[in-house]
Amino acid sequence: MSFKPFNPPSRTLMGPGPSDVHPQVLQALAKPTVGHLDPTFIAMMDEVKALLQYAFQTDNPFTIAVSAPGSAGMETCFVNLMEPGEKVIVCRNGVFGERMRQNVERLGGEAIVVDDAWGTPVSVDKVAAALQQHPDAKFLAFVHAETSTGALSDAKALCALAQQHECLSIVDAVTSLGGVELRVDDWGIDAIYSGSQKCLSCVPGISPVSFSPKAVAKLEARQTPVPSWFLDQTLVMGYWSGTGKRSYHHTAPVNSLYALHESLRLLHEEGLENAWARHDRMHQKLKAGLEKLGLRFVVEQAHRLPQLNAVYLPQGVDDAEVRGQLLNRFNLEIGAGLGDLAGKAWRIGLMGYAAREENVTLCLGALEEVLS
């Protein structure tokens, strides 16, 4: 038996992620691998840190890239900051809030769940009530941009509430980072994680994470050891901290970090606010076209994510058939509905390099043809 090299088709990725990777990021990925303690690589990691601080809008010294996807970023926050028996207010308005709850419970924490309907943002009023009812809660955890529904929650208001109640906030920014306004320091976010494969236009597999000094102090004051060796940030800090102090923890995904560096460099070159505005412009254009096709949005305009457009399937349309035709005839991937929205909605992503005029035009034209 012989095996041929794998030649993937050239798709346009307009689903919930991974999204289109910028060609310069793909080129960066193919550069020669160096040792992960090579001085040139360490200098590049310092730039990755600085660029992540820019993307997150934070001065947090503890800002790093976890060598694993967004789910590992989520676990990094819970395994390092929470201890068994601690109470966490967990907001659940889609798939990823539920995953946060599972993290809390698997680690022996007590999850106080604040539920909101799929397609709606986290209710600030309900969270305020939960915090009042549970003055012993140590954390407030929520998803800024719920990829399963396309709803954007008010991270600024939620983090302000957490601060009033002396809770640390844990924020999922996997889909929001680079796509919508996000200001870690101004909003007082304590722990945040993201993913490389969405609005950063990078390949999947890396999770940017940042902890505020308060979160780092909580980690340093733990009474119990961090229950994961790989994600224990007290061990990883030695790998990401200042020049000359690097020590081996694990073998970093060298080429993926080249890719992340290039994607963050491109974001910096474009300007964060320009990137947010571009996502919004492309969303407006896509929205006008989708509405012309008679498609109805799942989320109300005021809480809609520009980078994740969830629309209900028209009556009588076969979900898999349409997505199959888009893929096979147009090389275009859009996302299926998840959880409660499975078979009922499509999720059309406009994330990072995918948020471009030509993608919007391709998607609207292809959908029009397939639906007719």
Ligand X SMILES: Cc1ncc(COP(=O)(O)O)c(C=O)c1O
For residue 80, state whether it binds ligand X (rule: CB under 6 A). Answer: no
For residue 69, state whether it binds ligand X (rule: CB under 6 A). Answer: yes
Nearer to ligand X, 100 or 364 (CB): 100
**In whole angstroms, how close is the CB of 96 to ligand X at the nearest point?**
4
**In whole angstroms, how close is the CB of 207 to ligand X at the nearest point?**
7
- Rounded to an integer, what distance in angstroms lies between the CA atom of residue 336 and that of residue 323? 8
For residue 147, state whether it binds ligand X (rule: CB under 6 A). Answer: yes
Burial of 244 from C-beta contacts in 10 A (0-12 / 13-18 / 19+): exposed
**In whole angstroms, how close is the CB of 196 to ligand X at the nearest point?**
8
The count of chain residues that interact with ligand X, using the rule CB under 6 A, is: 14
Stretch that binds ligand X, among 119-127, 170-178, 256-264, 356-364 (CB under 6 A): 170-178
Q: Which residue has the tokens 């929520």?
A: 142
Stretch that binds ligand X, among 153-161, 171-179, 334-342, 347-355 (CB under 6 A): 171-179
For residue 195, state whether it binds ligand X (rule: CB under 6 A). Answer: yes
Q: Which amino acid is at 36?
A: H
In this structure, are residues 132 and 106 in contact, taking their beta carbons and an 8 Å threshold? Answer: no
Residues in 4-43 at the binding interface with ligand X, rule: CB under 6 A: 16-17
The per-type count for the chain, helices as H runs and strands as E runs, is 13, 13
For residue 309, state whether it binds ligand X (rule: CB under 6 A). Answer: no
Nearer to ligand X, 25 or 143 (CB): 143
**Given candidates 25, 158, 159, 174, which one binds ligand X under the rule CB under 6 A?**
174
Q: Please count the CA atoms within 13 angstroms of the CA of 364 that sit on its side-chain side.
A: 20
Stretch that binds ligand X, among 85-93, 102-110, 167-175, 265-273 (CB under 6 A): 167-175
CB count in 10 Å sphere of residue 99: 17
- Rounded to an integer, what distance in angstroms lies between the CA atom of residue 212 and that of residue 56? 12
**In whole angstroms, how close is the CB of 344 to ligand X at the nearest point?**
19
Q: Which amino acid is at 238?
A: G
Nearer to ligand X, 70 or 121 (CB): 70
**In whole angstroms, how close is the CB of 298 to ligand X at the nearest point?**
15
Nearer to ligand X, 169 or 366 (CB): 169
Nearest-CA neighbor of 148 among 114, 129, 172?
Answer: 172
Nearer to ligand X, 69 or 352 (CB): 69
- Rounded to an integer, what distance in angstroms lies between the CA atom of residue 236 and that of residue 246? 10
In this structure, are residues 368 and 286 in contact, taking their beta carbons and an 8 Å threshold? Answer: no
- Give the pairing of strands 139-143 and 168-172: parallel
Dihedral pair phi/psi, residue 198, rounded to 5°: -110, -105
Nearer to ligand X, 42 or 341 (CB): 341
Nearer to ligand X, 63 or 175 (CB): 175
Which residue's CB atom is positioned nearest to ligand X? 70
Nearest-CA neighbor of 140 among 117, 113, 102?
Answer: 113
For residue 172, state whether it binds ligand X (rule: CB under 6 A). Answer: yes
**In whole angstroms, how close is the CB of 206 to ligand X at the nearest point?**
9
- Give rounded-to-5 percent helix, strand, coil for the chain: 45, 15, 40
**Given candidates 54, 57, 61, 71, which one binds ligand X under the rule CB under 6 A?**
71
Nearer to ligand X, 41 or 142 (CB): 142
CB count in 10 Å sphere of residue 362: 17
Residues in 85-144 at the binding interface with ligand X, rule: CB under 6 A: 96, 143
CB count in 10 Å sphere of residue 15: 22
Nearer to ligand X, 36 or 198 (CB): 198
> With the CA atoms of 125, 127, 132 and 137 taken in that order, what torsion angle do they form, in degrees rounded to the nearest 10?
-170
Contacts with ligand X, residue ranges (CB under 6 A): 16-17, 69-71, 74, 96, 143, 147, 172, 174-175, 195, 204
